[in-house]
Amino acid sequence: MRNHTPSSITDTVLDQMAGTPSPRLKMLMEVGIRHLHAFAREANLTPQEWLQFIEFLTRVGKTCTPTRQEFILLSDVLGLSTMVNALHDATAVEDATRTSLLGPFFREDSPEFELGEQISTREAVDPILLWGRVSSAAGKAVANAKVMIWQTSGSGTYDLQEGDGSAIDYRGTFRTDAEGRYFLRTVRPLGYYIPMDGPVGDLVRAQNRLGKRPAHIHFLISAPGFRELVTALYFPDEYVESDVVFGSSPDLIAREKAADPEAPIKGLPSVRFDFTLARAGTADTAGGRVGADPKAVDAAARAAAT
C-alpha cells in the first residue's frame, strides 16, 4: 500500500492489472490507463469537470436506442472512427478503394433490387444514376459482389430518422453482373446535420463546429475471398472540406456527368465510380466495420447484460 500521488497512481493501477490473462486486454487496458491518467494530469482535471464528463457519457448511453447509436456518433465526431478505419486500412494485403465511415444509419435489413432499379420508394425528384465496376486489385471483375447502398433523401434525412424509424427507404442491395458492373437509380442526396438534438450535438455546438456532413452515398461491398469494403462517395458541396466526422476525402469524390455516353442507362445525370477490393488477409477474420446497425449494438448490449 502507498500514499497515492498524481505521478505514482498510474504504476500502482498497472501493477494491480498485471495478472490479466488475455494479453490483448492487458495491453489495451495498460495503454488506455496510461493515456487517461496522462490526460487528467496534463489537463489538471477538476472533480467538477470529471463529474460533468460522467454525466455526458450517461446521456450518451441514455440516448441510444435500437434506431439511434449516440456512441458511434461520438466516436465519429472525435475522429476516432476515422482513426480506427485508417489503422484497419493499413493492414490490407493489397491496395484497395479508400474506406470511409459506416456511420450510425447503416441497417442490415436492406431490400434487394435488380440492377438498374430505383432505390427510392418515393417520387424521385432529382434522380441520378450510379454505376461502375467492382474489381480485384489485379483488375479482374468481381462478379456477384454484394453492393449495399444507403443514403439520405433529397431533403437530407435517412429513413431511420423519419417517423418511428421502421420504414425502409433510400437503401438497397445489389449484385454485380458477370463483368463486375453495378448500376442503379437513386435520388441526389443532400448534405445534412448529424443528429444535433442529443449530447453529441451539444458538444459540437459548444465547440462552434457546424455539425454538417457533405452530401454522400454509403457503400458496403463484399464478396467471398475479399476484404469487406465500407466506404462512401462525396458530392463536392460546400461542406466537403469541413465534414464534422472526417469521412470525406479527395479519393472519394463523386464526379457527376450530365450525359455520359458510356452510362448503362441514358437520360439521367450519372456518377461513375469503380471500386477495388483487396484480397482478404489474416486481419480480416474479425471483421473491419467501425460501427454496426444500431439494432445489432442494442441487441448485443442487452445480451451481455443478461
Using CB under 5 A as the binding rule, whether residue 191 contacts Fe ion is answered as no
Output 101 or 263, the one with its CB closest to ligand BEZ: 101
Q: Which does 73 bind (CB under 5 to 8 A by kind): Fe ion, ligand BEZ, none?
A: ligand BEZ
Comparing CB distances to ligand BEZ, the nearer of 129 and 200 is 200
Q: Which stretch binds ligand BEZ (CB under 6 A): 45-53, 55-63, 97-105, 256-264?
A: 97-105
User: Binding segment for Fe ion among 102-110, 133-141, 219-227, 258-266 (CB under 5 A)?
Assistant: 102-110
Q: Contact with ligand BEZ (CB under 6 A): which of 73, 149, 229, 271?
A: 73
40: Cα separation from own chain's centroid:
29
Please identify, using beta-carbon distances, which residue of 159 and 284 lies nearer to ligand BEZ. Answer: 159
Cβ partners under 8 Å of residue 294, min gap 6: 64, 65, 66, 67, 68, 69, 72, 104, 107, 160
- Longest CA span, the chain: 77
Residue 171 touches which of ligand BEZ, Fe ion, none (CB < 5 to 8 A by kind)?
none
Calpha distance 33→277 (Å, rounded): 37
Query: Which of 128, 233, 245, 254 touches ligand BEZ by CB under 6 A?
Result: 245
Helices (H), 149-276: 199-206
Q: Check: CB of residue 225 under 8 Å from CB of residue 279.
A: yes
| Segment lying near ligand BEZ (by CB under 6 A), choices 24-32, 33-41, 57-65, 103-111 | 103-111
Return d(Cα 131, Cα 136) in angstroms, integer. Answer: 17
Size of the site for Fe ion (CB under 5 A): 1
The neighbouring-strand residues paired with 184 are 130
**With CB under 6 A, what is the number of residues at the site for ligand BEZ?**
9
Instruction: Tell me the one-letter amino acid at 168.
Output: I
101 belongs to the binding site for ligand BEZ (CB under 6 A): yes
Least Cβ distance, residue 259 to ligand BEZ (angstroms): 29
3-state secondary structure of 131: strand
Q: Which residue is nearest to ligand BEZ (CB)?
A: 103
What is the length of the chain? 306
- Cβ 245 to ligand BEZ, closest distance in Å? 4
Which residue's C-alpha cell is 437513386? Answer: 186
- Whether the CB-CB separation of 207 and 60 falls below 8 Å is answered with no
Q: Exactly one of 76, 103, 104, 182 binds Fe ion (CB under 5 A); which one?
A: 103
Q: Is 103 in the site for ligand BEZ (CB under 6 A)?
A: yes
For residue 115, the 8-state DSSP code is T
Q: Residues 171, 213, 227, 272: which binds ligand BEZ (CB under 6 A)? A: 213
Q: What are phi and psi of 231, to 5 degrees?
A: -150, -175
Nearer to Fe ion, 133 or 171 (CB): 171
If one asks whether residue 76 binds ligand BEZ (CB under 6 A), the answer comes out as yes
Burial of 7 (C-beta count, 10 Å sphere; 0-12/13-18/19+) = exposed
Residues in touch with ligand BEZ (CB under 6 A): 73, 76, 101, 103-105, 194, 213, 245
